[in-house]
Each structure stands twice: as structure tokens, then as C-alpha cells.
Structure 1
Amino acid sequence: MATLVIILTLAGFYFCYHTSKRATPPRTLLLEQWIHDSPKEGNIIGVTCLILSTALSIYSLGWFAGILSFTVMLMTFGSLIVVLSPIKVIGYKSVAALIALSFILENLI
């Protein structure tokens, strides 16, 4: 459940970040290009992911802990995306590897 919340939070902020006019338009993936070209749909998908992530976090951890953990995740991923996305330090392959590792570790424990 934690990995799903992390994925949704990361995707939601990433979608909302790339709909901004100040964000540099990425041209590596078709999905990123589509988000930048259609900001209204990208914002709707991003906000939906963030709301779903909040709801799952509250469901799994309770009201206070769920909102607090979602806020901490949003601040962490938000700062990482804003700082590292323009200089292209972390790509989609490394994010996919980290998510796969997180999923494996979550299911082993």
C-alpha cells in the first residue's frame, strides 16, 4: 500500500509540475510531451492522483498519520522534482528501478 501511495504522489506532483508554463518542456517520453501540450487534462489527472494518494494514505494509516505522511511525501517529492527535473539527473528508468525495489521490499517484510 505504501508503494502505491508513493507512486500516486510522485505521479500527481509530476503531472501538475509539467503543466506549469515555467517548467522546461521535456521531450523524452510521449507522456511528458502530452502533459506539457495539454495542461488542463494533465492538471486533472495530477490532482486526481494526489486526492487518491491522500485517501489511500488516510485509509492505511488513519486520519492524522495519513495526512501527515502525505504532506511529508508531497514536500519531499515536490522539492526533488523541482530541483532535479530541469537538470535531468534522475530519469524514468531509475525511478522505475526504485519503485520496483520498494515494492519488493514492501512485500518481503
Structure 2
Amino acid sequence: MYTIVIGFTTVGFILNYLSSRRVILSSHTVLRTWAYANASTSKVLGLASLTLGLILHIMQLGFGSGIFSFLVILMTAGSLVVLLYPLNIFNFRVLLLLFAISLILELFI
């Protein structure tokens, strides 16, 4: 369950990050191009993903702990995205691979 919540939070931050007009990236990936061209849709999807992550955190951990855990994960994911996305280390394929490995480890170990 934590993997899914972290995934929603990270994807929400990435969508909001890529839809910003201030972000200047050297590479133009499919997600970057779509988010930049459809900024309002990307922001709505990003906020919906962040809200869903927050609600799932609150349902799983309780009100206070859920909000605190969500904020910690949001700060961590945001720092990683801002630092690693311009270096082309943090793209959609890497995120999907990390999500799959984390989900398999969470469910079966």
C-alpha cells in the first residue's frame, strides 16, 4: 500500500513540475511535451493524484500521522525530482521500474 501512495504522490509532483512554465529542461520527452502543451490538464491530474495520495495516507495511518507522512514523502519526492529530472536520470521508465520492484518487494516479502 505504501508503494501505491508514494507512486501517486510522486506522479502528482512530476505532473505539476513539468507543467510549470519556469522549468527549462534540455530534453523533450513525451511526458514533458504533453505536460507543457496541456498545462491546465496536467495540473488538474497532478493535484488529483496528490489528493488521492493524501487521502490514502490518512486512511492507512490516521489523520495526524497520515498528513505528516504525506508531507515527508512529498518533500522527499520533490527533492529527488528537482535534483534528478534535469539530469535525465529520473524519467518515466525508471520511475515505473522502481515502482514495480518496490511493489513486488512489498507484496511478496
Q: Same fold (TM over 0.5)?
A: yes
Per the TM alignment, residue 32 of structure 1 is displaced from its structure 2 partner at its CA by 2.5
Query: Could you tell me which residue of structure 2 aligns to residue 74 of structure 1?
Result: 74
State how far apart, in whole Å, the 2-side matches of 1:73 and 1:67 are. Answer: 10
Q: CA deviation at 1:47?
A: 0.5
Query: Does the 8 Å contact 2:35/2:42 carry over to 1?
Result: yes
Shift of 1:46: 0.4
Look up the SS of the partner of 1:21 in the other structure. coil
Per-residue deviation, 1:95: 1.6
Question: 2:28 is matched with which residue?
Answer: 27
Structure 2 unaligned segments of length 5 or more: list them.
none
Structure 1: give runs of 5+ residues left out of the alignment.
none
- 8 Å CA contact 2:81–2:90 kept in 1: the answer is no
Post-superposition Cα deviations, 1:16-73, rounded to whole Å, max 9, x if no partner, equal: 00111111255222x3311111111111110010001000010011111111110000
Query: Separation in 2 of the partners of 1:83 and 1:65?
Result: 27
> Which amino acid is the alignment partner of residue 54 of structure 2?
T
Q: Could you tell me how far apart the structure 1 residues matched to 2:53 and 2:32 are?
A: 21
Letter in 2 for 1:19: S
| Aligned counterpart, 1:14 | 14
User: Percent of counterpart pairs with the same letter?
Assistant: 38
Deviating beyond 3 angstroms after TM superposition, the runs of 4 or more aligned structure 1 residues are none
Confirm or deny: 8 A CA contact 2:8 2:52 kept in the other structure. yes
TM-score relative to the length of structure 1: 0.91
Aligned residues: 108
**Residue in structure 2 matched with residue 48 of structure 1 by the alignment:** 48
Distance (whole Å) between structure 1 residues aligned to residue 60 and residue 85 of structure 2: 30
